[in-house]
Each structure stands twice: as C-alpha cells, then as structure tokens.
Amino acid sequence: MKNFIRDITLIFVFSIFSTSVHSQFSDYGVKIGVQSTNLVNTENNFFDTHFKTGFSIYGFAEYDLVQFVSSELQLGYTMRGFSNEINITNELGPEIIGRHKSNTSLHYLSTIFLLKSDFSLISRNVFLGIGPRVEFLIQKDMGEYYNGFIDDTATYFDDFLFGYALVAGLNNLNFLKQRISLELRYDRDITDSMSDYPRDARNHAIVASIGIGFK
C-alpha cells in the first residue's frame, strides 16, 4: 500500500511540473496561517483527543490555466498535533481530584497542489479550490502530562501521508498598499496516519491564513 501511495505521489509531482510548463505564471508569494488541528478516524469520530493550535508557512506560485481557472503550488512547513487529558485521582480511592493535559506537536514538510476557480464579486476575487496534499513528518514533540509522564502516541505516526485540501477565500485585497489574500482551508488525510497502531487515525485541520503576493 505504501509503495502504491508513493507511486501516486510521483505522478502527482510530475503533473504539477507539467501543468506549470503549459500555463501562464501569474503570482507568487508567501502564506502564513494558524490552524485548529486534531485526529479523526474513518467514522469521523474524534480520536479520544482534543484540538490544539498550530501554525503554518508556505511559499506559493500561481499559474493561469484558462479564464477563471488557475492552479497553485504551495510548498512549506506546517505544525499539526493534538492535546490529550488524563484524570488524576487521590491516593486513597478513585475520586477524581483533577486533570492533566498534554500537547503533542507534529512537524511536517508539506506540498499542496490546488485547482482554483475565481468568481468576481464587487471588484474582489472570490475563489474556491480543491487538490491533493503530500506531507513528510520531520519531527515529533511528544506531550508531557506531569512529573515526566509522557504521552507516547506520536511514536506511532508514519513519516509520510497523503491527503486533500479544500479552500475558499478572497484574492487581490489591498492593505497598506500591499496586495493580500485571505484563505480558509480544510485539510484531511486520506492515508492512515498511524498504520502500525491498532486504530486508524487521520490528521484533520482547519487553517486560516493570510497571503502576500509579490508580483
């Protein structure tokens, strides 16, 4: 299965460059965002974990394909993860006297390829987009509850994942003489993020970002 996914990824990367060669370069810049991220399983239930805040930074290049349709390649870094909680009981019985929380961070190199459609709205460009997402795990920061007690869930995460992204936003806004964009993106893994774990789990994030165009 992993070899199949890697083959699909190679085709995906080749398609990106093929598209870029036959299209008209229209913009490039950087996108910086914050995200609310957690884990879900195939039944869309949360993975006994809680949302945590992460951030991301991507460089992007956009190419015009035909009127109202463009493609966009994003390359960058994203920090995903989740939080977990455990009950603290007293020494004399099962009475719960408190809860401790841990925050696990997962650091990825990320590639997103989007097909976008623009719609004119009062001189501002509204856009919608969809496309595949490939990420490589470069660092795991395991959460700590208290007294050195570690949440080791991150040790099960695979180094490679394949997913998709859905986006909506506004292009070509002017702020302090700088052209910016506002984007809301939903990310979800297609592959199992923890293939060696007894239960399946997938990264799931809502990302709000601001883009700065340099062209």
Query: Does 68 have pLDDT greater than 60?
Result: yes
pTM of the model: 0.80
Residue 151 contacts by C-beta under 8 Å, 6 or more apart in sequence?
84, 102, 104, 142, 143, 144, 145
CA dist 159 and 5 (Å) reads: 13
Averaged over 27-37, what is the pLDDT? 92
Question: Alpha-carbon distance 188 to 112, whole Å?
Answer: 12
Buried b (16+ CB within 10 A) or exposed e, 115-154: ebebeeeeeebebebebbbbbebeebebbebeeeeebebb
User: Are 124 and 172 contacting, i.e. CB atoms less than 8 angstroms apart?
Assistant: yes
The pLDDT score that the predictor gives to residue 90 is 67
Mean pLDDT along residues 172-200? 84
How many Å apart are CA 31 and CA 181, to the nearest integer?
Answer: 9
Average pLDDT score, the chain: 80
| Rounded distance between C-alpha atoms, residue 48 and residue 65, angstroms | 43
pLDDT interval class at 50 (50, 70, 90): confident
Q: Which residue has the tokens 């995906």?
A: 12
Predicted confidence band at 55 (pLDDT cuts at 50, 70, 90)?
Answer: very high
Retrieve residue 25's tokens. Answer: 């370069």
pLDDT in tens, 81-135: 888 877 666 666 676 666 677 889 999 999 999 999 887 555 557 899 999 999 9
